[in-house]
Chains A and B, each alone.
Chain A
């Protein structure tokens, strides 16, 4: 068999590469078209049923006075600020325990990772709703101690907290990444530190944290972005209403209501763009702050 000329081989490989990329380009269309469509719609009044009418900045002006929008921002912010650090701390703690060479690590890793895969699913949120309902397992357990628990999902004072708990429970995916990060830290640092007489806490602060900081940063940015986009949990636990009493009205849930239930897709589009700006802002701040605490070993 003749050997092909290098240039020809290269071209063939390129062609194969582009062919493989074709579906991606096809998929890109489904991104780019809605992207620009929503940018245009953000500046219109569009009720889904009749043609959009140009509205200029009217939607954005309306946002300023929209108390429900402000409520949904509050819900999303509280959720993010509480659940993101909490779930990262739990993830890191569990990762460190598993890193200590527990027997059957693979099994534990899978068990802890499972909720991450499932938590966004409708079935788990439904299950959650039953566990925390007025007559659910949690209140049954409290009843043994003579306590009548509240409606964890039906009382506006507790509903968001219940969802935060559900989120913290899904620490699996940052945990797996933490675990990989911990494995990367050379054992000699710990050996040297313990020879210097550093306590475990001191080792954690001076060795683990700085060397893990790029991983923490990565997990933080990921979790933050995901948190701002929370939708399923709020939708399922409240049947799409954001209730009880707007206490689980996530930003994306309100956006969805506006677009599909209230026939106001123009406003929903402008909300989507505001969310983009908010997430970009938070991510930007993160990257700026990272200079002061993220430490790259090499």
Chain B
């Protein structure tokens, strides 16, 4: 046998083995995944449910799903989750690939992006399967576009102001009355903290680019940031006033200097400047109170947003971090509706989920689980329950294109922070860019 044939022979055998492996590898994902909820080998119907969040939320979600599986042995729910920013991109890609999940967490600012393009199931036509009678009209309105309904709040929240009492005690600063304080009170408070700590701790910091913050400020000035028919209702004057207020906070020393805050630092409580004790107060979504309080050592006080009693009208509203939506192309809409109905109305499911997505949207469920919650979650639940009883302005789904606004505001905020743009110019710039973003 000469060397040449040996190599050729070996090569061929190896090649065949290799080709076999390649074929196997190609076939594997096909049988392993079970795209978009088809019937599995064991006859169970498989639903795909996707959401964003962390490992802790995953634990809570899994617990609720185990309850669902026990009650519905013929349905299996396969979940996927990740951080919020890759989630958004991946969801769009899955729709583009005609492989939408059956049940999905939907960003409030993206609802109309999907709904207006006909990709979501109209839940209003399925009231026989999905009971939404336990929700307040305000909570139901969060998923409504006209007469249609494309989402159920996965949990309710609002924004609140937290102040670290361990720091104010340390520096001998009095915390203002959280129910009646004004923006001026905030400025005075922030300045006192910065001064007393000799610049080691800044009195306050909040994101100038978060739409939810600016939205409350606009309402207090009598404007709807977004109108019911999906337009931009805020004016340049409001955006200007917002930046003027922040700039004067900064100039007085109550707000950190330019460049101090990394606006892309991440949003987890553990990474926050509050947890690092570099600032004494900030705005947070109320469903994160537990996480923030744990990260800060347990001395956080929860206050309302300043200006609520002085303003022309109320600014705060009952909102949601995410809605549950069902894909219009779901292969198993009935079973998915069943799952959604379970998540919304089952008390045991509500107990298992805790407050990881905010206060349960159904007031019945919310009332029954409050006693079982941890003190911090109970605090934010009660905060929201009290708020729901007040007369508040409605919150409308963000218009198509609104998801671009955060980036626009981030850019403008940086320009103002480094004095490359005046607050007045920022107001004008925002109007130009926002109108363009929302128009097309």
Pair B262/A151 contact, Cβ less than 8 Å? yes
Once the chains bind, are A4 and B95 in contact (CB under 8 Å)?
no
**With known contacts A9-B8, A49-B119, A239–B264 Cβ distance under 8 A:** yes
**A245 near B415: Cβ-Cβ < 8 Å:** yes
Residue B261 at the A interface, CB < 8 A?
Answer: yes
Contact across chains for B18 and A48 when beta carbons are under 8 A apart: no
What sequence of 0s and 1s flags, for each residue 151-187 of chain A, a beta carbon within 8 Å of any chain B beta carbon? 1011111000000000000000000000000000000
Tell me if A201 is interfacial: C-beta within 8 Å of chain B. Answer: no
For window 20-67 of A, CB contacts with B under 8 Å fall at 20, 22-23, 26, 47-50
Which stretch from A105-113, A260-268, A287-295 is at the chain B interface?
Answer: A260-268
Selected interface stretch from B28-36, B86-94, B233-241, B300-308: B86-94
- Whether a CB of chain A sits under 8 angstroms from the CB of B172 is no
Given A47-B117, A237-B264, A239-B264, A155 contacting B418 (CB threshold 8 A): yes
Say yes or no: is B19 at the interface (Cβ < 8 Å to chain A): yes
**Is A3 in the interface zone, CB < 8 Å from B?**
yes
Tell me the smallest distance from the CB of A46 to a CB of chain B, in Å. 8
Q: Kindly list chain A residues whose C-beta atoms are within 8 Å of the C-beta of B85.
A: 239-240
Contact B410 A243 (CB under 8 A): yes
Q: Is the CB of B410 within 8 A of A241?
A: yes
B 110-163 contacts with A by CB, 8 A: 113-114, 117-119
A48 CA to B118 CA, complexed, in Å: 12
**CB proximity to A under 8 Å, residues B359-408:** 401, 403-404, 407
Q: Which one, A10-18, A83-91, A188-196, A217-225, is touching chain B?
A: A10-18
B56 at the interface (CB under 8 A from A): no
Q: Is the CB of B39 closer than 8 A to any CB of chain A?
A: no
Q: Are B403 and A261 in contact (CB under 8 A)?
A: yes
Q: Does B15 contact A (CB under 8 A)?
A: yes
Interface status of B53 (Cβ within 8 A of chain A): no
By size class, the interface of chain A is 35 or more
Minimum distance in angstroms from B205 CB to a CB of chain A: 13
| Contacting pair B12 A15 (CB below 8 A) | yes
Collect the chain A residues with CB atoms within 8 Å of residue B297's CB: none
B24: interface (CB < 8 Å): no
Report which of A19, A47, A129 forms a contact with B262, defined as CB distance below 8 A: A129
A232 within 8 A of B: no
Q: B22: which of A26, A133, A244 is its contact (CB, 8 Å)?
A: A26
Say yes or no for A238: interface residue by CB 8 A criterion.
yes
B414 at the A/B interface (Cβ < 8 Å)?
Answer: yes
Q: A49-B96, A243-B411, A245-B415 are in contact. Are A22 and B19 (CB under 8 A)?
A: yes
In the complex, chain A residues whose CB is within 8 Å of the CB of B92: 48-49, 260-261, 263
Set B1, B15, B113, B261: member contacting A16, Cβ < 8 A: B15
Q: Which residues of B contact A153 (CB under 8 A)?
A: 262
Q: Which of B1-54 contact A (CB under 8 A)?
A: 1-2, 4-5, 8-9, 11-12, 15-16, 18-19, 22, 26
Residue ID in chain A nearest B403 by CB atoms? A261
Are A3 and B262 touching (Cβ within 8 A)? Answer: no
Instruction: State whether B8 touches A12 (Cβ < 8 A).
Output: yes
Interface of B is mostly: helix
Report the minimum CB–CB distance from B106 to chain A (whole Å). 13
CB <8 Å contact, B118 and A50: yes
When the two chains form their complex, are residues A239 and B266 in contact, meaning their CB atoms are under 8 A apart? yes
Is B404 a contact partner of A262 (Cβ separation < 8 A)? yes
Q: Which residue of A lies closest to B117 (CB)?
A: A49
A283 contacts chain B at the CB level, 8 A cutoff: no
B73 touches A (CB below 8 Å): no
Cα–Cα, bound, A23→B24 (Å): 12
Which A residues are CB-close (under 8 A) to B113?
49, 263
Within B238-274, the residues touching A (CB, 8 Å) are 258-264, 266
Bound state CA distance, A186 and B433, in angstroms?
62
| CB atoms of A22 and B22 under 8 A apart | yes
Per the 8 Å Cβ criterion, residues 211-260 of A in contact with B are 237-246, 257, 260
Q: Contact at A20–B15, with CB atoms within 8 Å?
A: yes
Q: Which chain B residues border A19 with CB–CB below 8 Å?
A: 12, 15-16, 18-19
Q: CA separation between A13 and B9, bound complex, in Å?
A: 8
Contact of B407 among A47, A151, A257 (CB under 8 A): A257
Docked Cα-Cα span, A220 to B318, in Å, equals 57
In the complex, which residues of chain B have a beta carbon less than 8 angstroms from the beta carbon of A241? 264, 407, 410
Smallest beta-carbon distance A25→chain B, Å? 11
Report Cα–Cα, A19/B16, bound state, in Å.
7
Contact B262 A133 (CB under 8 A): yes
Complex interface: chain B residues within 8 A of A16 (CB): 8, 11-12, 15
Which residue of the partner chain A has the closest CB to B262? Answer: A154
Q: How many angstroms from the CA of A15 to the CA of B9 in the assembled complex?
A: 11
Other A-B pairs beyond A16-B15, A156-B415, A243-B411, 17, CB < 8 Å: A1-B1, A12-B8, A12-B9, A20-B15, A48-B92, A49-B96, A49-B117, A134-B260, A150-B259, A155-B259, A241-B264, A243-B410, A243-B414, A244-B263, A244-B414, A261-B89, A261-B407
Chain A positions within 8 Å of B, measured between CB atoms, are 1, 3-4, 9, 12-13, 15-16, 19-20, 22-23, 26, 47-50, 129, 133-135, 150-151, 153-157, 237-246, 257, 260-263, 265
